[in-house]
Amino acid sequence: MFLTLIVLLSHAQQPSCYDEERNALIHFNQSFKIDCDKVRSPYSDLILHPKTLSWGSNGTNCCSWEGVECDMLTGRVIGLNLSSSCLYGSIHSNNTLFQLVHLQELDLHYNNFTFSPIPNAIGIFSELKILNLRSSFFQGQIPLEFSLLSKLSFLDLSYNVGGNDPLLVKLLKLKNPNLRSLVKNLTSLDTLFINYVDIGYELGDVLANLTSLRVLGLGNCGLYGPIPSSLGKLTKLNALNLKENDFIGTIPSSIQNLTQLFFVRLPSNQISGPIPSWFGNLTKLTYMNFDFNHLSGSFPPSLFQLNRLETLSLQGNDLTGTLQLDSFLKLRNIMIIDLSHNKISLHVEETKKGSPNTTLSNLKYLSLASCNLSKFPEFIAHQTNLHLLDLAYNSLFGQIPQNLMNSSIHSLEGIYLSNNLITGFHNHTTILPWSSLYLLELQDNLFRGQLPIPPSSVIHYDVSNNILSGEIPSVICNLSSILVLDLSNNNLSGDFPLCSGSGISDSLLVLNLRNNSFHGTVPLQCQHESELRMADFSNNHFQGKLQRPLTTCMNLEYLDFSFNQLNDVFPTWLGSFPRLKVILMRENKFHGVIGKPQNTTSEFQMLQIIDMSRNYFIGPLPYEYMFSWNSMKDFKMSNLTYMKAWENITFNSNAIGQAVTGYDYSTTIVMKSVATHYGKIPINLAVIDLSSNNFSGQIPKIIGSLKALYSLNLSNNALSGHIPPSLGTLTELESLDLSQNQLSGKIPRQLVELKFLQMFDVSYNNLTGIIPQGNQFHTFENNSFEGNQGLCGEPLSKKCEALLPPSAFNKDIASESAIELDWKFILAGLVSGFAIGVSLGEIVIPRTRLAWLVYISRTRLREMIIRN
């Protein structure tokens, strides 16, 4: 009894830490800043807690400090868990952390170590059993010293990545040493996560000796070749993740030896062949994900034996055959079913609601997109706990039945019914149920009549490309949480409701009213702290003047009011919108001279695309605005990404994590009278279209500073003067249209340097001289140059004379010279020289050649003056 009490008291007492270890922890903490923003930015949903802020406040015994664990007998620090602690700074081998040589657990995941390499000193922790460096911004080669950590049972180096999803850059690599070198001594490993580490070779039998392994994560590691059959030797394996690699071939039969497997994830590879029927024997399976491969053949009935299965996801394969939808009722624990985008034909039987076992009480996510459905499955009507339903890209026809509208009425959060033949809701219902709904996609159907109004919880509502008509009811202002409202390509009419207070305009990110019959004033509203990023009012009947919003649209990036009847001067107040990237005002009745900007350095700094074509503007081109078009001045190389209203927005869900993916901006660019539609706008695209107005004067040289320009269209104006040679510096230019103006002089030779130029049109001007040759110019046809009486050379049929007439040279001399010289003395010298030549050799020099020599002499003299 007495001895037992002594033992209990010894365990209750907190051990005292060693001074040298306390000092090591203090200096370790002092080597970092605490900056939660630097950690949170890539992981916006992280819950952060800077544990080290409390160190010292709890006394000098470091064993009592948060995140520190000491051995109860020796007092040595054996555990350090500083995950999600907002540590910001580099870590090196001389850091005092490596004085804690008794560590058995080190967890530093979700911090920011500023792209520093993992220190070689990591090998000093010979007692380490748990090491977690996940998502901590380490970079570079994983050191060989990891192989010294022979007692490791848990290792996580995953998701040390940079960039924006989905273009994540793998920061860590296992090249030299490679994966084989890393794991050869780590035979005690139970868990290995190295997702998003750049390995980049065939896996082979590298892992065959890790027979204690229970969890293996090798997602997005650049692995290729067949899935190794040696994985079948890892008979203790519970979870296998090989997602997003380049594995090929069939699923090896040795996998059937993994009888303890409950999680298998193989999406986004190149795996082919059928789904093996022996998967039905892996009875512990709860999760199967084979999305986006090349699996073929029919759906194996043996999978219906997996009564523990919770997730079955097979989307984006080539599965064929007919499948009875009610067969899934055998999977009593199923939560997620995704068969979308295969070649399966789902057979739907009528099921009586009162019959037993018609409800899967756990089913929350059902995606049957592109499954050849022609009628709404009765199966769905019996499900009471659905959170997401996806029936898009089928052939569903007619009205949405009442029993479906009553299904999961309080739980449904996302409904995807786009790309069908649906004409409306049961009894033409316009006020929809589903009180928890976030996402409603009805686009590309045959909905007609009045606009259905979703519940106020909706954040994304897309009903574009239907046949809806009539006016918008004012109840739409109740959508106080909405982020995206897309009503484009219908026949809706009347004035769009102007919501105020806490109405629709407060939350809205995207408002798309394109191609309807709305009239009245443009309903551009930006309330206090408005998040509006895209507003598209094009192809309607809006008229009158643009009304300036009461509050500056601080976040607006895309604004389109093309193809309306707006009658106003240029809205200079748009320059106060600091993030504006795209302005489209094509084909209206805008008029007058475009005045000077109030501030030539700060207005329209982010502008990349401007289309003011087919209006009634007069006066000079708005060159003073161009000084501040900074986004057009610098072409930034990047991976192919697109302009979006946002990347992803996550929201709370009772089912699974859901997100609204970014809304893509789109536009149409006219080149040589041919309209090219961009369903997605490349993030580097820069376009100026000022065509079909009545602009006059010269083309400003400042355009040559807009180095990122892809397309420049100044056609069908009254521009005069010469084509500025500075346009030859627009090295990204693919389309240049200067046709139907009054331009004169030569085509600058510098334009030949535009190696990406695919469309070039200077027709119907007053240009003269030889058409330059070389690079892209040999691809342009006759119609690019026609209507210029003074042009000659290919591709025109008009040949150039060997020498040009003196009038042409005199005109060029007068226009290009910046130095006034008394040419009488030069001509006198030339004439006297020629007289001597004539007297000696009876040489006859034509008048045109004399002019040529005058031109050459002047050019050389000018070069001498410049050089000196």
Residues 648, 754, single domain; the answer is: yes
CA distance 617 to 697: 13
Residues 565, 664, single domain; the answer is: yes
Residues 26, 67, single domain; the answer is: yes
- Of 130, 146, 166, which one is at a domain's C-terminal end? 166
CA distance 80 to 365: 39
Picking from 348, 325, 350, the residue whose alpha carbon sits closest to that of residue 337 is 325
The amino acid at residue 826 is I
Looking at the chain, the whole-number percentage of residues with pLDDT higher than 90 is 70
pLDDT band at 820 (very low <50, low <70, confident <90, very high): very low
Summarised one tens digit per residue, pLDDT across range 334-385 is 999 999 999 999 887 765 555 556 889 999 999 999 999 999 988 888 888 9
pLDDT band at 165 (very low <50, low <70, confident <90, very high): low
What is the residue-averaged pLDDT of the chain? 87
Map tokens 């490349």 to a residue.
682
Q: Of the given ranges (86-90, 163-167, 204-208), which has the lowest mean pLDDT? A: 163-167
Residue 786 pLDDT > 90? yes
Average pLDDT for residues 241-259, to the nearest whole number? 98
Residues 822, 676, single domain; the answer is: no
Residue 24 pLDDT > 90? yes
Residues 604, 623, single domain; the answer is: yes
Residues 662, 790, single domain; the answer is: yes
pLDDT band at 805 (very low <50, low <70, confident <90, very high): very low
- Apex 557 CA angle, 583 and 478, nearest 5: 110
Residues 122, 69, single domain; the answer is: yes
Q: 432 Cβ partners below 8 Å, 6+ apart?
A: 405, 425, 440, 452, 453, 454, 455
Average pLDDT for residues 268-276, to the nearest whole number? 98
Residue 865 pLDDT > 60? no
Residue 445 pLDDT > 80? yes
Residue 724 lies in a domain: yes
CA distance 583 to 530: 19
pLDDT band at 696 (very low <50, low <70, confident <90, very high): very high
pLDDT at 505 (0 to 100): 64
pLDDT band at 14 (very low <50, low <70, confident <90, very high): confident
C-alpha distances out from residue 628 to 226, 505, 585, 599, 736, Å: 55, 30, 20, 9, 22
Picking from 858, 857, 752, 856, the residue whose alpha carbon sits closest to that of residue 804 is 856
Q: Across 401-405, 537-541, 595-599, which has the greatest mean pLDDT?
A: 537-541
Q: What tokens appear for 720 in the block?
A: 């005069």
- Of 116, 139, 166, which one is at a domain's C-terminal end? 166
pLDDT band at 501 (very low <50, low <70, confident <90, very high): low
Strands (E), 401-500: 414-416, 421-425, 439-441, 448-449, 460-462, 467-471, 484-486, 491-494
pLDDT at 164 (0 to 100): 57
C-alpha distances out from residue 751 to 8, 685, 707, 777, Å: 89, 20, 14, 9
Residue 812 pLDDT > 50? no
Summarised one tens digit per residue, pLDDT across range 511-534 is 999 999 999 999 988 876 788 999
Q: Which has more pLDDT, 431 or 390?
A: 390
Residue 257 lies in a domain: no
Average pLDDT for residues 90-108, to the nearest whole number? 97
Strand order in the sheet with 616-619: 591-593, 616-619, 694-697, 718-721, 742-745, 766-770, 790-792
Beta partners for 491?
469
Give the strand pairing for 270-273 and 154-156: unpaired
Q: Map 280-297 to HEC letters.
A: HHCCCCCEEECCCCEEEE
CA distance 799 to 588: 43
Stated length of the chain: 868
Residue 846 pLDDT > 80? no
Based on its alpha-carbon atoms, the radius of gyration of the chain, rounded to whole angstroms, reads: 36
Residues 782, 834, single domain; the answer is: no
Picking from 755, 757, 756, 782, the residue whose alpha carbon sits closest to that of residue 771 is 782
Summarised one tens digit per residue, pLDDT across range 120-156 is 999 999 999 999 999 999 999 999 999 999 999 999 9
Summarised one tens digit per residue, pLDDT across range 37-70 is 888 766 666 789 999 999 987 788 999 999 999 9
pLDDT at 357 (0 to 100): 65
Picking from 150, 113, 157, 110, the residue whose alpha carbon sits closest to that of residue 131 is 157
The b/e string for 669-696 (b: 16+ C-beta within 10 A; e otherwise) is bbbbeeeeebeebebbbbbbbbbbbebe
Residue 3 pLDDT > 90? no
Give the strand pairing for 311-313 and 322-324: unpaired
DSSP category for residue 860: H
CATH code: domain of residue 35: 3.80.10.10
pLDDT at 502 (0 to 100): 53
CA distance 765 to 762: 7
Summarised one tens digit per residue, pLDDT across range 476-496 is 988 888 999 999 999 999 999
**pTM (two decimals):** 0.84
Domain count, the chain: 3
Residues 664, 769, single domain; the answer is: yes
Residues 622, 669, single domain; the answer is: yes
pLDDT at 239 (0 to 100): 99
Q: Of the given ranges (27-31, 353-357, 377-381, 788-792), which has the lowest mean pLDDT? A: 353-357
Residue 251 lies in a domain: no
Residue 4 pLDDT > 60? no
Summarised one tens digit per residue, pLDDT across range 732-785 is 999 999 999 999 999 999 999 999 999 999 999 999 999 999 989 999 999 999
Residues 565, 608, single domain; the answer is: yes
Range of the domain at 140: 15-166
Residue 516 lies in a domain: no
The b/e string for 708-735 (b: 16+ C-beta within 10 A; e otherwise) is bbbbbbbbbbebeebbbebbbbbebbbb
Cβ pair 415, 452 in contact under 8 A: no
Average pLDDT for residues 417-428, to the nearest whole number? 94
Residue 226 lies in a domain: no
The torsion region of residue 405 among left (phi > 0), alpha (psi -120 to 50) and beta comes to alpha
Residues 861, 718, single domain; the answer is: no
Residue 543 lies in a domain: no
Summarised one tens digit per residue, pLDDT across range 540-564 is 999 999 988 867 788 999 999 999 9
DSSP category for residue 865: H
Average pLDDT for residues 800-813, to the nearest whole number? 49
Residue 627 lies in a domain: yes
Q: Across 4-13, 628-637, 777-786, which has the greatest mean pLDDT?
A: 777-786
Residue 373 lies in a domain: no
Looking at the chain, the whole-number percentage of residues with pLDDT higher than 70 is 85
Q: What tokens appear for 518 in the block?
A: 């709305």
- Of 749, 779, 802, which one is at a domain's C-terminal end? 802
Picking from 45, 119, 134, 125, the residue whose alpha carbon sits closest to that of residue 82 is 134
Q: Of the given ranges (71-80, 566-575, 637-646, 714-723), which has the lowest mean pLDDT? A: 637-646
Average pLDDT for residues 686-712, to the nearest whole number? 96
Q: Which has more pLDDT, 12 or 418?
A: 418
User: Which DSSP string do the residues of 2-58 spell out, in sequence order?
Assistant: HHHHHHHHHHHSPPPPPHHHHHHHHHHHHTSEE-HHHHHTT-TT-----GGGGTTTT
